[in-house]
């Protein structure tokens, strides 16, 4: 039974209650409810909670993007339904960016598509690609929509564990031939949420060869390519010869420009895949507010004014947290990209118990690794979404914990 409306009395609700669809019942269990409840209780009790739980930037969208939005919002031409194929100016800006940043030349008309955030595109893609009974190879731990999108399309996720010993890259040779033959798509996400891992070119080359050998579509989630914390900047899979024919890659404005609430991103890659996703979308949504698309195009044009500084901020925070945790004896690796620190639980205990302990005893919210899939057990994820002083305070509080 699900509550239909807060206005319903319990009796009315009982009369109209219904059974939810099987696809909802097939979703993996939501493992964050206990932590959510404890976090709410801590906040309600007025405790000084340090929230390193959710991957949502704490610093604002650049002022020049906000000003661009205001300017474009005053133009009545932006007030109508957006074009299905997105604003031509944004498509051009994205094509220029992909060329400048990755050396990937794309046809702005056929190989790119603006999205209402990458989550929307990732969630809808399986409806274009997978039929009931099909399967998709999904890494674990992972950003949850790869699993849920596959399940909503009636297909089955076949999980590929990401282990620390392998740099959190899937072991393609360990995939059973029968699974590879049955799967229609393989998901990858580098730089990776939650582990912070970056894929080396050699891995991407072997992935393309594997996908060619097994006739797989590659779904590459590139939402974090711009949050580079070391000198080298993560690559796009589309740079690899052969990838473009069978890859759809998802890019986001959310983390690059602190625009999570704006809901804008894009898909790029094989024209057939991009067009198929576009067909699903044109039946389900009406695009991104055109003023937002135009402001997003301006953001890409002024990338150098903002993104290097943002990366420097996260680098300093990463160092503050990782050095602090290392001093406490945590065996933590410094991520080379993303704003996540994927930390093994001291002593190797359960991630849900560890995050409950950290919240109850230190008033720090972090995310239990098992919530990203079973191989995430034994880890917790800290998001670097507070300043260095606050992170130093978090380390001081963690120092007092007993494991």
Q: Which residues bind ligand PLP (CB under 6 A)?
A: 55, 117-119, 143, 189, 193, 221, 223, 252, 254, 260, 265
Which run of H or of E encompasses 387?
none
Distances (CA, A) of 312 to 227, 292, 388: 9, 26, 12
Select 119 or 124, whichever has its Cβ closest to ligand PLP: 119
Nearer to ligand PLP, 244 or 263 (CB): 263
d(CA 189, CA 160) in angstroms, rounded, equals: 12
88-to-131, 137, 273 alpha-carbon distances in Å:
32, 34, 19
- Give the residue with the Cβ less far from ligand PLP, 143 or 210: 143
Collapsing DSSP to helix, strand or coil, 43 comes out as helix
Write down the least CB distance from residue 119 to ligand PLP, Å: 3
**Pure H helices in 215-302:** 271-284, 290-301
Residue 182 CA to residue 179 CA, distance in Å, equals 5
Q: How far is the CB of 24 from ligand PLP (least distance, A)?
A: 21
CA 252, CA 260: separation in Å to the nearest integer? 9
Identify which of residues 268 and 398 has a Cβ nearer to ligand PLP in the complex.
268
Least distance between ligand PLP and beta carbon 61 (Å): 13
Least Å from the CB of residue 192 to ligand PLP = 7
Preceding omega of 194 cis (within 30 degrees of 0): yes
SS3 of residue 363 by DSSP = coil
Judged by beta carbon, residue 140 or residue 221, the one nearer ligand PLP is: 221
CB of 19 to ligand PLP, least distance (A): 30
Local structure of 352: helix, strand or coil? helix
CB nearer to ligand PLP: pick between 222 and 394: 222
Reported in sequence order, the residue ranges of 199-330 that DSSP labels E, i.e. its strands, are 217-221, 247-252, 265-269
Q: How many residues does the chain have?
A: 403
List the Cα angle 333/394/259 in 5-degree steps: 75
First-residue to last-residue Cα distance in the chain: 40
Q: How far is the CB of 127 from ligand PLP (least distance, A)?
A: 17
Closest distance to ligand PLP from the beta carbon of 189 (Å): 5
Minimum Å gap between C-beta 84 and ligand PLP is 19
Strand order in the sheet with 379-383: 340-344, 379-383, 367-368
CA within 13 Å, CB half, 34: 13
Cβ distance to ligand PLP smaller for residue 55 or 278: 55
Distance CA 215, CA 235 (A): 23
**Cα distance between residue 117 and residue 257, in whole Å:** 13
CB of 288 to ligand PLP, least distance (A): 11
Instruction: Compare residues 180 and 273 and give the one whose CB is closer to ligand PLP.
Output: 273
Q: CB burial class (10 A; 0-12, 13-18, 19+) of residue 63?
A: exposed
What span, in angstroms and rounded, lies between the C-alpha atoms of 105 and 87?
19
Distance, CA of 326 to CA of 312 (rounded, Å): 21
Comparing CB distances to ligand PLP, the nearer of 210 and 262 is 262
The residue sitting closest to ligand PLP, measured at its beta carbon, is 117
CB of 398 to ligand PLP, least distance (A): 24
Select 260 or 356, whichever has its Cβ closest to ligand PLP: 260
């Amino acid at each position: 039974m699900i509550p239909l409306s807060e206005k319903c009395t319990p009796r009315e609700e009982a009369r109209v209650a219904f059974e939810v669809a099987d696809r909802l019942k097939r979703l993996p269990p939501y493992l964050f409810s206990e932590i959510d409840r404890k976090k709410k209780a801590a906040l309600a009790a007025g405790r000084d909670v340090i929230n390193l739980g959710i991957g949502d930037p704490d610093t604002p969208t650049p002022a020049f993007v906000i000003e661009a939005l205001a300017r474009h919002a005053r133009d009545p031409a932006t007030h109508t339904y957006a074009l299905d194929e997105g604003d031509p100016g944004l498509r051009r800006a994205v094509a220029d960016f992909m060329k400048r940043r990755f050396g990937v030349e794309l046809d702005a008309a056929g190989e790119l598509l603006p999205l209402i955030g990458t989550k929307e595109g990732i969630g809808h893609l399986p409806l274009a690609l997978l039929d009931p009974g099909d399967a998709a190879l999904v890494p674990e731990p992972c950003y949850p929509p790869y699993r849920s999108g596959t399940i909503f399309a009636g297909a089955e996720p076949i999980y590929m564990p990401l282990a620390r010993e392998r740099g959190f890259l899937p072991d393609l040779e360990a995939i059973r031939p029968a699974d590879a033959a049955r799967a229609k798509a393989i998901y990858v996400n580098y730089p990776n949420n939650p582990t912070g891992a970056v894929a080396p070119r050699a891995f991407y080359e072997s992935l393309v060869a594997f996908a060619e050998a097994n006739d797989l579509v590659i779904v590459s989630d590139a939402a974090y390519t711009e949050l580079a914390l070391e000198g080298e900047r993560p690559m796009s899979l589309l740079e690899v010869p052969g990838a473009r024919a069978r890859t759809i890659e998802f890019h986001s404005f959310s983390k690059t420009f602190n625009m999570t609430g704006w809901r804008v991103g894009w898909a790029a890659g094989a024209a057939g895949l991009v067009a198929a996703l576009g067909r699903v979308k044109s039946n389900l949504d009406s695009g991104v507010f055109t003023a937002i698309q135009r402001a997003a195009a301006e953001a890409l044009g002024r990338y150098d004014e903002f993104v290097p500084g943002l990366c420097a901020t996260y680098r300093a925070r990463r160092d503050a947290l990782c050095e602090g945790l290392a001093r406490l004896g945590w065996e933590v690796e410094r991520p080379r990209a993303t704003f996540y620190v994927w930390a093994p639980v001291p002593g190797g205990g359960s991630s849900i118990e560890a995050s409950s302990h950290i919240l109850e005893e230190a008033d720090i919210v972090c995310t239990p690794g098992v919530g990203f899939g079973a191989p995430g057990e034994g880890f917790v994820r800290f998001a670097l979404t507070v300043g260095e002083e606050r992170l130093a305070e978090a380390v001081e509080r963690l120092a007092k914990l007993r494991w």
